[in-house]
Chain A
Amino acid sequence: MKVGVLALQGAFDRHAQELSLAGAAPLEIRGPKHLEDVDALIIPGGESTTILKLAESLGVRDLLSDQIRDGLPVLGTCAGMIVLSKAIIDGRDDQNPLGSIDIDVRRNGYGRQLASFEADLQIAGFETPFRGVFIRAPLVERAGKDVEVLASVEGNPVFCRQEKIMTTSFHPELVSDGRIHELFLELAFASS
């Protein structure tokens, strides 16, 4: 199971650690040729403006978008969710997301760093709560009808799935609890 972690900017090393613990082989993706032999991908948290800009200038954006459309399983956390969304509210005018999952997100929708928070999340299928860490987190303002909401905070979706695409507003890579990475790997490799 080769799982790529988009390593343009952000908390990619923490995702790689979680993947190793879950028994997958993480690969850092910095250019188009790295994308060739991955079976699944994680887009980490970081700054979405930086990640989208580098994806464009380093020539990975189009390939990434095509591969996800063709069924590459992908998990996007925080900035990664923004990158995968259909529309960005309160972003920069020139910030075009990949449009892979049918959600609209508001950047820093939960506020600036002072409003960043932790909270226990009830996630479908988990026996005990999952500690969600929200850092200048994006708010899902709209989730389309094909999007399954796996967890919410105060009525807003924070964990979404559409086919083989998963997104979280929070950071599962920061809490030493591998259940979301395991769930993603199950989703990614269930049929193969």
Chain B
Amino acid sequence: MAKDPFRMIFMNEAVRETGTQLVKRGLAEMLKGGVIMDVVDAEQARIAEDAGASAVMALERVPSDIRKDGGVARMSDPEMIEGIKSAVTIPVMAKARIGHFAEAQILQSLEVDYIDESEVLTPADETHHIDKWAFEVPFVCGATNLGEALRRISEGACLIRSKGEAGTGNIVEAVRHIRSITGDIRKITQADSAELFDWAKKLQSPLPLIQEISETGRLPVPIFCAGGIATPADASLVMQLGAESVFVGSGIFKSEDPAQRAQAIVEATTNFADADKLAKVSHGLGEAMPGLEIENLETRLSDRGW
């Protein structure tokens, strides 16, 4: 650095501020246009990274196995999370139960990059979600409609995803959630200032967030899609409906050829509006994960959370 003509600035040590909203929402901005993949061990994490995943979600069982096994689903073993963290260079997320702030504290101590307060695990609190403002690590939360999304944002969530119906390979619920959220946002941009009060009441959401949406025409944080994505076409569908990234859970590692399918979904997410490219990447992927009809389910995961 001997040649640096601006040496004097070194005397002004920059004051670092960590854990700010800008920093927490900023990571969500960096994950846009990408695919976040559920992985259960270091080997799957490497396959995901090789395929171009922009982050991985570390969990003990993918949602379709949680659904099959039943019982209480909890935060993953820290050893398994550490193993995945050291296997990849991309961000690592992990799930805490709804309302289980102690699990979230442990995940923060493990230095995961994002916490998913997730309905895929068994809820720990029937009334309260985690106060996410109390954490330096950012949170993603699921939502089935705009009111739920705004309540999560008011609790400090920095990224919203649809809930979909995890572990089914059935996209219908995720489509309903994304359409409901983006549809209400469009209506709010058309509402006059008096109607915004009614929207806040109807959605049981803070008025300032409703007013912000009426001005910007978008959620204050990025919105991603999760739940039921199994094919490149599914990824394209939800991206065209307004999702800014996709989470893929069981859809990859419950399919016949995970590596190839993972890469195809990554390419489909980038080229979501290019049908020629989508046709090309959809060729010869082998069997997708087996799908489930929503009305035959014993447990509706998307009903969890409030």
Which A residues lie at the B interface, using CB under 8 A? 7-14, 30, 45-47, 49-50, 53-54, 57-58, 78-79, 90-92, 107-108, 112-122, 124, 132-136, 143, 145, 148-155, 157, 171, 174-175
Enumerate chain B residues within 8 angstroms of A133, measured Cβ to Cβ: 22-23, 26
**Which B residue sits closest to A118, measured CB to CB?**
B17
Q: Which 3 residue pairs spanning A and B have beta carbons closest together?
A: A119-B14, A113-B113, A117-B16
| CB-CB under 8 A for A175 and B91, given A30-B271, A46-B32 | no
Q: Is B140 in the interface zone, CB < 8 Å from A?
A: no
Cα of A92 to Cα of B45 in the assembled complex, Å = 13
Range of interface residues on B (Cβ < 8 Å): 35 or more
A104 to B105, CA, bound (A): 35
Q: How far is the CB of A12 from chain B (nearest CB, A)?
A: 7
B125 to chain A, nearest CB (A): 25
Other CB < 8 Å A-B pairs besides A118-B22, A122-B9, 11 of them? A8-B270, A10-B32, A11-B32, A47-B30, A47-B34, A47-B90, A92-B49, A113-B114, A115-B18, A118-B23, A151-B6
**One of B12, B20, B23, B54 near A50 (C-beta < 8 A):** B54
- Count of inter-chain pairs, beta carbons less than 8 A: 155
Q: Per a CB cutoff under 8 Å, which of B9, B17, B89, B138 touches A113?
A: B138
- Our pick among A90, A115, A134, A149 for the contact of B4 (Cβ within 8 Å) is A149
- Given the known interface contacts A9-B33, A92-B49, the answer about A54 and B26 at a Cβ–Cβ threshold of 8 Å is no
Contact A122 B30 (CB under 8 A): no
Assembly CA distance A134 to B18 (angstroms): 9
- Alpha-carbon gap, A125 to B5, bound state (A): 12
Q: Mark B33-63, 1 if CB is under 8 A from A, else 0.
A: 1100000000000000100111100000000
The CA of A33 and the CA of B43, in the complex, are separated in Å by 36
The answer to whether A122 touches B12 (Cβ under 8 A) is: yes
B residues whose Cβ falls under 8 Å from a Cβ of A: 1, 3-6, 9-10, 12-20, 22-23, 26-27, 29-34, 49, 52-55, 89-91, 108, 111-114, 136-138, 263, 266-267, 269-271, 274
CA distance A90 to B89 in the complex (A): 8
Pairs A–B under 8 Å by Cβ, sample size 13 = A8-B270, A11-B30, A13-B32, A50-B53, A50-B54, A107-B89, A114-B18, A132-B14, A135-B23, A143-B1, A145-B3, A151-B6, A155-B1
CA distance A118 to B15 in the complex (A): 8
Q: Assess A9 versus B29: contact at CB under 8 Å? Given A49-B52, A58-B267, A135-B23.
A: no
A137 to chain B, nearest CB (A): 10
Q: Are B27 and A46 in contact (CB under 8 A)?
A: no
- When the two chains form their complex, are residues B270 and A10 in contact, meaning their CB atoms are under 8 A apart? no
A14 near B29 with CB under 8 A, answer: yes
